[in-house]
Structure 1
Amino acid sequence: MTDILPALWPTVLTGIGATVVVDLWSILRERWLGVPALDFAMVGRWVGHLFRGRFFHRPIAATPPVAGERTLGWMTHYLIGITFAALLPAMFGSHWFCEPTIGPAELVGIGSVVAPFFIMQPALGAGIAASRTPRPAMVRMHSLVTHAIFGLGLYATGNVLRMLPVASFC
């Protein structure tokens, strides 16, 4: 735990940067492949209903909206990115920010696909690993690619940050 504290700001900034990379990928994926981006209002709706004691929805779109759900969804999206970025110093030490390497970043990025497969997709009514969607294999592939891109975003952001004063603890 003490190794995480000196890396707090690099972790937060790396998580934000990697999440921005995912968002840019989502825009490109929609333009190039016609795959719509995730509607973060649905994530916000899910979080809003968590506070009311409801975890599962079938499907989330049929669940009544909550006030500010789009904003809540986007905030949750970025907080999740920061949380996954925190795995880097937790697993590999804060020195990862001094010399970022692709292996740990991709391990965290690709490993983070467990969250949508086993938490978000079932909770939103899509089943485990999108099993209740019309094309589960396609959804799984897009999830895996997106999370691999998140890993690249962790690596790229880590390399940008190490050149800034935020990496002064190195």
Structure 2
Amino acid sequence: MFDIFWRSVVIGIGATVLMDIWAIVLAQATGGSLPNWAPVGRWFWHLGNGKVFHDDIGKAASYEHELALGWIGHYVVGILYGILLVLIAGPGWLAEPTFLPAWIWAIVTVGAGWFLLQPGLGIGWAASKTPNPAKVRFLNLVSHTVFGFGLYATALIIR
């Protein structure tokens, strides 16, 4: 049982690392910016006070360590997604990982960003309040596809 747990944790970490590498490559290739995890950290901080949705997270009270909390939260969520994938797919998936369950799960997890995190940050349901919601949604799907590949690839490496 512990073997299944630790491998699930490693799978979540590996997938999150690959997603972060993808963000760096994308930013360098397009001249765009890297993800800023400070607003996410601020959002996590305010969850402790029972506040889930903000009109603008930038106007919410700041927290001294919000950037660190954002990074920690990012990785904790990735780990939870790795654990949940193994719980859903079953321990047999760890012995013979396939891409499809990992990819489907990764696409499903976009929903947490679209319908919890993004409105929580004040950027609307599925980034509807951003200047280009279709672009944000597309990039969310691509980054979660990379995350799904990371789940699969990490599972292959550690099986």
TM-score, normalised on structure 2? 0.95
Match of 1:129 in 2: 126
Q: How does 1:6-155 map to 2 (within 5 A)?
A: 6-155=3-152
Query: How far did 1:68 drift?
Result: 1.1
Query: How large is the Cα RMSD of the aligned pairs?
Result: 1.2
Stretches (4+) displaced over 6 A: none
SS in 2 for 1:117: helix
Query: How far did 1:33 drift?
Result: 1.8
Q: Give distance in 2, aligned partners of 1:98 and 1:34.
A: 40
CA deviations on 1:117-163 (whole Å, 9 max, x unpaired) are 1011000001000001110000000001000110000011111111x
Structure 2: unaligned runs, 5 residues or longer: none
Match of 1:165 in 2: none
Structure 1: unaligned runs, 5 residues or longer: 163-170
Count of matched residue pairs: 159
| Contact preservation (8 Å) 1:88, 1:96 | no
Query: How far did 1:61 drift?
Result: 1.6
| 47-56 or 127-136, larger mean C-alpha shift | 47-56
SS in 2 for 1:113: helix
Q: Give distance in 2, aligned partners of 1:117 and 1:143.
A: 9
| 83-92 or 122-131, larger mean C-alpha shift | 83-92
CA deviations on 1:69-107 (whole Å, 9 max, x unpaired) are 111111100010011111222111112111110011101
TM-score, normalised on structure 1? 0.89
The letter for the 1-side match of 2:33 is P
Q: Give distance in 1, aligned partners of 2:30 and 2:112.
A: 24
Q: Give distance in 2, aligned partners of 1:21 and 1:98.
A: 21
Q: Give distance in 2, aligned partners of 1:32 and 1:74.
A: 23
Query: Percent identity at matched positions?
Result: 43
Q: Going by fraction, where is helix more abundant, 1 or 2?
A: 2
